[in-house]
Chains A and B, each alone.
Chain A
């Protein structure tokens, strides 16, 4: 009957076996890489906004405190986006004929709120609470990045659950004194760990209970 296959079929068979192993492993590798890539996490995405609002200008340039606009951040679960009225406290008087601000004035005239695009969008099964973080010494820039240097707001962190848990397991890595929570230029000191442990104790952060399901997924 003789040979059905030619000699090089041996090489093909071995390569095919190797390729089969790769074919099984590769989708997992691609999947793991893909979900961590900015393409899917949205890190550094700059979504389109109705008005090109610049945190850099308002925070670093003018020195407006975070709470001037995001008023509920210390007390409520939702930090809130300021209403048109907040914009118009100044912009009814300055840059009154600026074209970029026309949507704000239109909103003021018609009473229709501006349709801002959410940059940090958690799934609705995660019940994030801003107030508890701010009151326990977690500063704005730890999660939102250097907002004071963002001409357009972008997402600075991936919002992975493992990213949340990283801090909930060891908050001493990130916690800062309460008086610096709204400091846009705060950087961790050399003795962050020692100071952080001290603050965790002082603010009575209950480390052991922070990774329970009910903390976020209520």
Chain B
């Protein structure tokens, strides 16, 4: 038997949207999805999202990139093939810093880009929520608030009544993802 469809409320302004999220959380719902065409200021605080792990990954991979670049240069110049190039010492660390810096940036940037995709579960061309009425406007001019049907507080009738009380433009159903 397929589970209850989740409920999706559509809003016209970011203010209404943020207000609705606050009231939904106050009503005890925790499994909330928020979809907006732009990064709404205050949305993270309203949803009380946990801090992203992405900065940690970027730090780790930045340090990894920089350290490997520095060690590679030091190994090549001082251990593997020591060459007298311009009379400099073999371990000329000041001249290694430039490449080290660039590889720190590269490592952090790659970790940021691919880490963002991984943590977001992207790329994901198909998602059940795209079936929802009017949802294509979520990337244009409408704000959507979803209450997942596996939220412990969820009830098909009372939750719909609650969403209606938030004065949305419309409340529609979203089939939960199969599997």
Contact = CB atoms under 8 A, between A and B. Distances in A.
Contact of A10 (B81, B125, B136): B125
Interface string B102-139: 00000000000000010000011110001100011000
Contacts of B136: 1
Interface residues of B, number: 12
Nearest to A8: B126
A17 B123 contact: yes
A170 to B, nearest CB: 13
Contacts of A165: 81
Contacts of B135: 1
Contacts of A12: 125
A212 B81 CA distance: 10
- Counting contact residues on chain A (CB < 8 A from B), the size range is 10 to 19
Contacts of B124: 10, 13
Given A1-B135, A1-B136, A211-B81, A9 B130 contact: no
B125 A5 contact: yes
Contacts of A9: 125-126
Nearest to B135: A1
A5 B126 contact: yes
A62 interface: no
B123 A2 contact: no
A190 interface: no
Interface of B: 81, 83-84, 117, 123-126, 130-131, 135-136
Interface of A: 1-10, 12-14, 17, 165, 211-213
8 contacts: A1-B135, A2-B130, A5-B126, A8-B126, A9-B125, A9-B126, A10-B126, A13-B125
Given A7-B126, A213-B83, 9 more contacts: A1-B130, A3-B126, A4-B130, A5-B125, A5-B126, A8-B126, A9-B126, A13-B124, A211-B83
